A and B are shown apart, each in its own frame.
Chain A
């Protein structure tokens, strides 16, 4: 029995960009094998929260933080943590598909190669499993060497998911992964997310209440940097406890 309860826990997290207070004292946790949706109107800090979880905000010089983010029981901002190893364990998929300007194969092997996988057979295996998991294998298996930017938008995004899965992270962060796609590709990716939750802890930032309802098991509602509600998605959407949540769900704030 591990000493931690959930893969990722957030304790009293506050963040600032310069003088701007973005997140205000957030405490929540993300269960394993669950999709957690982070909802909220634009500018409420949901992307910031997500990026704090894999320390991608470290790149912003004016970023400051207080509070703890625990990954498997250790503080990811602690002195002993290697940020590069951390990011290996916490994968991320971005809003817009952003394949590297190289072949499909190289896109998927980029991560494993960084972390020391050199064996050709192993890399081939990783490519196949990752692409299969991302439901892309059948579409691209014959053109693994073609440049990734030539794929369609939906395929590119699934490739990005495969790329994130290639280093086998237990946690997957998704920053509005379908908002830049057409409805059909979006539906495919939503399906994929539901499938993936069997093996991964998925944290999904979304702007879209319906999507949260379809995909997620638990949800956090952020408003102006405050965590307003955090509970089962069904409960929040059916009987919001806070008037702000209700306003968001019914479309009065967004």
Chain B
């Protein structure tokens, strides 16, 4: 048995740090140790695909996005497709941005207002229950079902036709549940006392909601926007039958002139093509898309972490 003085030596500390000291005491200590080691390995298995995917996508696509040659770097994002490796993916890049902007313009007000209504103007009960339930169902619906619905409802039934409008409306439908539920969570986290303080000053529910509650919940609401945008930005399936595809940026709101390309769709189209330069371009597009999506996700993460830290 070690005396107290010895337990301070460096070797002993390393030994203690490895956990082996305890593991060898009995069978139960040992199985506890093995269990922890196995779980440690499991977590490595779980996160490793992230690095494998990053390695593949960045390995081939890095110079497309960060290089300075023809069709690389900014030229990759901002020139239209050309022959071979020349030209970029301006149609897809601008297309994705336009789709997201229009989808947000429709989806964000709709879902924020909806969240305000069910959180501030209803008591827990039927209306709130139904809206919460249907948004959860909506969040679980496969993206291809959204695509098929967008096709049959927007393109066919409403005669909007394929293009930017149908595509971004379909994406807006997909954004609603995410934003609605995160906004609702954010509103719910605003302490009741804050609302009461405003109401006690004689403000109406309306102005309390807009000036006090929503302002307090704002970071949470922004997180919801970002998460929803990040999610639909990478969606391919809903766009296949609603947005069409195009080598240029849409110039009209209806008809073939409104057909619009997107980055995910472009990746899909290029990757199934045997020509090698298109594969390289697919990787470049995938890398650019990943960077955009992950950056948005990261910002959302930072905001929500900052908020929780402030509240705690």
Which residues does A use to contact B, with CB under 8 Å?
A: 78-80, 82-85
Q: Are A82 and B1 in contact (CB under 8 A)?
A: no
Contact with A along B25-36 (1 / 0, CB 8 A): 110110000000
Q: Are A79 and B26 in contact (CB under 8 A)?
A: no
Q: Residues of A contacting B2 with CB < 8 Å?
A: 79
Within the complex, what minimum Cβ distance (angstroms) separates A111 from chain B?
Answer: 13
Q: Are B21 and A82 in contact (CB under 8 A)?
A: no
Q: Are A79 and B1 in contact (CB under 8 A)?
A: yes
A75 CA to B25 CA in the complex, in Å? 16
Known: A79-B7, A79-B21. A84 touches B28 (CB 8 A): yes
Q: Are B26 and A82 in contact (CB under 8 A)?
A: yes
Q: Which chain B residues in 1-52 approach chain A with CB under 8 Å?
A: 1-2, 7, 21-22, 25-26, 28-29
Tell me the dominant secondary structure on chain B's binding face: helix
A163 CA to B7 CA in the complex, in Å? 36
* Those 6 A-B pairs whose CB atoms lie nearest each other, nearest first: A82-B25, A79-B2, A80-B1, A82-B26, A79-B1, A84-B28
The chain A residue with its CB closest to the CB of B16 is A79
Q: Residues of A contacting B21 with CB < 8 Å?
A: 79
Q: Residues of A contacting B25 with CB < 8 Å?
A: 80, 82
Provide a sorted-by-A list of 9 A–B residue pairs whose CB atoms are within 8 angstroms: A79-B2, A79-B7, A79-B21, A80-B1, A80-B25, A82-B25, A82-B29, A84-B26, A84-B28
The chain A residue with its CB closest to the CB of B28 is A84
Given A79-B2, A80-B25, A84-B26, output 6 extra A-B contacts at Cβ < 8 Å: A79-B7, A80-B1, A82-B25, A82-B26, A83-B22, A84-B29
A83 CA to B23 CA in the complex, in Å? 11
Within the complex, what minimum Cβ distance (angstroms) separates A8 from chain B?
Answer: 20
Q: Residues of B contacting A82 with CB < 8 Å?
A: 25-26, 29
The chain B residue with its CB closest to the CB of A85 is B26
Tell me the dominant secondary structure on chain A's binding face: loop
Within the complex, what minimum Cβ distance (angstroms) separates A13 from chain B?
Answer: 14
Which residues does B use to contact A, with CB under 8 Å?
A: 1-2, 7, 21-22, 25-26, 28-29
Q: Residues of B contacting A83 with CB < 8 Å?
A: 22
Q: Residues of A contacting B29 with CB < 8 Å?
A: 82, 84
A83 CA to B25 CA in the complex, in Å? 10
Within the complex, what minimum Cβ distance (angstroms) separates A238 from chain B?
Answer: 40
Within the complex, what minimum Cβ distance (angstroms) separates B15 from chain A?
Answer: 10
Q: Residues of B contacting A78 with CB < 8 Å?
A: 1
The chain B residue with its CB closest to the CB of A68 is B4
A60 CA to B249 CA in the complex, in Å? 58
A78 CA to B29 CA in the complex, in Å? 16
A84 CA to B28 CA in the complex, in Å? 9
Q: Residues of A contacting B28 with CB < 8 Å?
A: 84
Within the complex, what minimum Cβ distance (angstroms) separates A132 from chain B?
Answer: 29
Within the complex, what minimum Cβ distance (angstroms) separates B164 from chain A?
Answer: 52
Within the complex, what minimum Cβ distance (angstroms) separates B136 from chain A?
Answer: 25
A78 CA to B1 CA in the complex, in Å? 8
A85 CA to B28 CA in the complex, in Å? 10
A79 CA to B22 CA in the complex, in Å? 9
Q: Residues of A contacting B7 with CB < 8 Å?
A: 79
Within the complex, what minimum Cβ distance (angstroms) separates B224 from chain A?
Answer: 32
Q: Residues of B contacting A85 with CB < 8 Å?
A: 26
The chain A residue with its CB closest to the CB of B6 is A79
The chain B residue with its CB closest to the CB of A80 is B1
A148 CA to B42 CA in the complex, in Å? 34
Within the complex, what minimum Cβ distance (angstroms) separates B284 from chain A?
Answer: 44
A8 CA to B7 CA in the complex, in Å? 23
A84 CA to B22 CA in the complex, in Å? 11
Q: Residues of A contacting B1 with CB < 8 Å?
A: 78-80
Within the complex, what minimum Cβ distance (angstroms) separates A169 from chain B?
Answer: 17
A189 CA to B104 CA in the complex, in Å? 60
Within the complex, what minimum Cβ distance (angstroms) separates B165 from chain A?
Answer: 52
Within the complex, what minimum Cβ distance (angstroms) separates B1 from chain A?
Answer: 6
Within the complex, what minimum Cβ distance (angstroms) separates B176 from chain A?
Answer: 36
Q: Residues of A contacting B26 with CB < 8 Å?
A: 82, 84-85
The chain A residue with its CB closest to the CB of B7 is A79
A83 CA to B21 CA in the complex, in Å? 12
A80 CA to B1 CA in the complex, in Å? 7
A200 CA to B7 CA in the complex, in Å? 34
A82 CA to B22 CA in the complex, in Å? 8
Within the complex, what minimum Cβ distance (angstroms) separates B25 from chain A?
Answer: 5
Within the complex, what minimum Cβ distance (angstroms) separates A82 from chain B?
Answer: 5
A85 CA to B26 CA in the complex, in Å? 10
The chain A residue with its CB closest to the CB of B12 is A79
The chain B residue with its CB closest to the CB of A81 is B25
Within the complex, what minimum Cβ distance (angstroms) separates B11 from chain A?
Answer: 14
